[in-house]
Amino acid sequence: MERLCQWLNEGFTGLGADGQMPLAILKAVLAHLYLAWIHPFGDGNGRTARLLEFYLLMDAGVPVPAAHLLSDHYNKTRTEYYRQLDRASKSGGEVLPFVAYACQGLLDGLRAQITMVREQQQKVAWENYVHEEFRKMKGSASHKRQRDLVLALGDQPGWVEVSKIPTLSVPMAQAYQPDNPRLLGRDLNAIEQTGLIARTHGKARARREIIQAFLPKRSQC
């Protein structure tokens, strides 16, 4: 433990500097692994190792949502985590397989977070765009209903059967009641003219691809 503490305090200096983040991640993963090997406590060694790893990531400047990803990865792949620990322990000091396993989990987690952020950006941009388009029209009860219809379709991942639209939400069920079956068709016709939706063979979908031009560019990773 004394040697581990000395290494933690003296090794890998300046990890917060530009270009040093990979070394910070490596230090955090190795600290986790070394503490698991030393196993200094009767109980809680795994939790302490994950806490130390999290602290080192935070100390190096990793944002909180990303600093949690390694611990989440170990929890979601618990069987593989223990297999990798056991393999590393019996290898005589070979750390690369465990490091590769941890880094792959971190990479997958970061990609999932980026995807989630991107989806939220698209949702907010789409909703703002729809509100702005209807704001340009003369306000009326039909425009509000049609706007809500576009937003309800925008919450769906793809094509929606027209007959299923009243089941999408409570407002849709209230707006398009069975005693007025033609109202939905008229609203869809009117909205289609604005270009906000597309229709085909009894189905409709929101044209969310319209707002792609308004979103920030992203790097491929």
Domains and CATH numbers, the chain: 2-116 (1.10.3290.10), 137-214 (1.10.10.10)
Asked if residues 193 and 127 have their Cβ atoms less than 8 Å apart, the reply is no
Which is nearest to 149 in space by CA: 199, 209, 211, 213? Answer: 199
Q: In this structure, what are the phi and psi dihedrals at residue 88, rounded to the nearest 5 degrees?
A: -65, -40
Alpha helix segments (H runs only) across the chain: 2-10, 21-38, 45-59, 64-67, 69-76, 78-90, 96-135, 141-154, 170-175, 181-194
Residue 64 CA to residue 22 CA, distance in Å, equals 17
Average pLDDT over residues 195-210: 94
At residue 11, what is the residue type? G
pLDDT at 140: 76
pLDDT tens by residue, 62-121: 999 999 999 999 999 999 999 999 999 898 889 999 999 999 999 999 999 999 998 898
Q: Is the dihedral of CA 128, 119, 190, 148 positive or negative?
A: negative
Residue 212 DSSP one-character state: G
Strand-by-strand arrangement of the 203-206 sheet: 160-161, 203-206, 197-200
pLDDT at 7: 86
Average pLDDT over residues 202-221: 78
